[in-house]
Structure 1
Amino acid sequence: MVFHEIRKQLLNQDKIGRYLKYAIAGIVSVMIDILLALQVNNWITNRELTKEKVKVLKVRYQEFSDNLSRFVAFYRIHLKRRKYNEILMATSLGELSLDSISYLNRVAGDNHTCDSLPCIYNSIINSGKIKLISNDALKLTI
């Protein structure tokens, strides 16, 4: 039977108490359905936000790894420059050939700077995705 037919039948039979119980049960049922739908929606939203947070952290980790590799490469270049500068300063120019002096001078004077690539970092900040990360210490580290 449809709800309105049951309601009419109960009202016609002067069974208002049963009608009220039936109506309240219907209202409670609808409320439970709405609450369940909201819970499912919240669960799905939280799951998607967690996926996005993991994605952001993975990309940031990759960017950090790339920057670290760049730094190590530049650090090795600077160690080599230092070594060649020490050779140039410790050796009498008369002991070296012109080609050796030219090579040592070129390598010793080859200046490189290591700037990190903040592309992903800027993207995370500008898009507001930094809010996905709830750990304040991690936010400061990033």
Structure 2
Amino acid sequence: MIKFFRKIRQNLLSEGKSGKYFKYAIGEIILVVFGILIALQINTVKNNNDKRNEEITHLKNILSDLKQDKSELIKIIERRKSKTESATIMENYYHTKKVDSLNLYYFHWTNVLMWETHNPSLVTFKELINSGKLSTLTNEKVKQLLLQIDYNYNQMFELRNHLYHDYTDYFYKPFADFIDYEHGLKAFLEPNKKIELSREDVEIALENKRIKNGFTLARLNNNILREQLSEILTKVDSTIVLVEKEIKK
């Protein structure tokens, strides 16, 4: 192609048509520039498409993570609610000093003491942060919500760690000296089955102020954890809606 253009210019010069030569040269320059601009535009479109495809992949993975996290959040919120209710019942035993049903006592006792955790499924979001690729997400609202969810989880972890230390000091250590954990598990797993349980162990527990304080703290902190998790769930729901819209754009 270059040889073809050069031959045309040489013919124009040899024929003494300098005016046409310069016009042709200018036209040729314009044509080359135009070709370069088209090539740059094509390259820009390709790069943008590549970036968008990469973003879509990340968004789909984030959406999958959020939906899984939502499912687990719903379960743990219900468990925190149940623990709060059981801790309230256990606390009331210390006010009345009366336990009509040992099975119920051990059921609620085990329900409170059973340690359960939820860890977020935000794998893709963490990978984007660790790899410095969070900027691939172009929707600022999505990024802000993900950062808020991560921050709220860190706050929840602090309280949960505090609660675990409370459980160790107020429940696990004192109860381990006189109560049979196996009885509690049987009553919890088979609440309608008649089980031979120790009333003497229960009466010892009802005289222990440390244990009573433990149930008070368990009621308070499990309820706070439930509220924190519910707030996270609300933000997860909002993020799911935004991410789905962003994928469909």
Taking structure 2 as the reference length, the TM-score comes to: 0.51
- Larger RCO of the pair (alpha carbons < 8 Å, separation 6+): 2
2:82, 2:6 → 1: CA distance?
A: 89
Question: 2:77 matched to 1:75?
Answer: yes
1:40-95 per-position Cα deviation (integer Å, ceiling 9, x unaligned): 111111122112222222222221222222121111112222222333344522x1
Alpha-carbon deviation of 1:108? 2.0
Instruction: State which drifts further: 42-51 or 109-118.
Output: 109-118
Q: 1:7 aligns with which of 6, 9, 13?
A: 9
Instruction: State which drifts further: 125-134 or 66-75.
Output: 125-134
Give the equivalent residue in structure 2 for 1:96: 101
Q: Are 2:87 and 2:112, in contact at CA under 8 Å, matched by a contact in 1?
A: yes
Structure 2, gaps ≥5 residues long: 147-249
2:80, 2:5 → 1: CA distance?
A: 83
1:83-120 per-position Cα deviation (integer Å, ceiling 9, x unaligned): 22333344522x113x4433332122112232323321
1:138, 1:103 → 2: CA distance?
A: 43
Among all aligned residue pairs of Structure 1 and Structure 2, give the percentage whose two residues are the same amino acid: 24
Q: CA RMSD in A?
A: 2.1
Alpha-carbon deviation of 1:29? 1.0
Number of aligned residue pairs: 140
Q: Are 2:62 and 2:122, in contact at CA under 8 Å, matched by a contact in 1?
A: no
Letter in 1 for 2:126: N
Structure 1, gaps ≥5 residues long: none
What is the SS of the residue equivalent to 2:60? helix
Taking structure 1 as the reference length, the TM-score comes to: 0.83
Structure 1 residues 61-140: aligned runs within 5 Å: 61-90=63-92, 92-93=98-99, 95-97=100-102, 99-140=103-144
Instruction: State which drifts further: 40-49 or 99-108.
Output: 99-108
1:7, 1:80 → 2: CA distance?
A: 89
What is the SS of the residue equivalent to 1:2? helix
Letter in 2 for 1:113: T
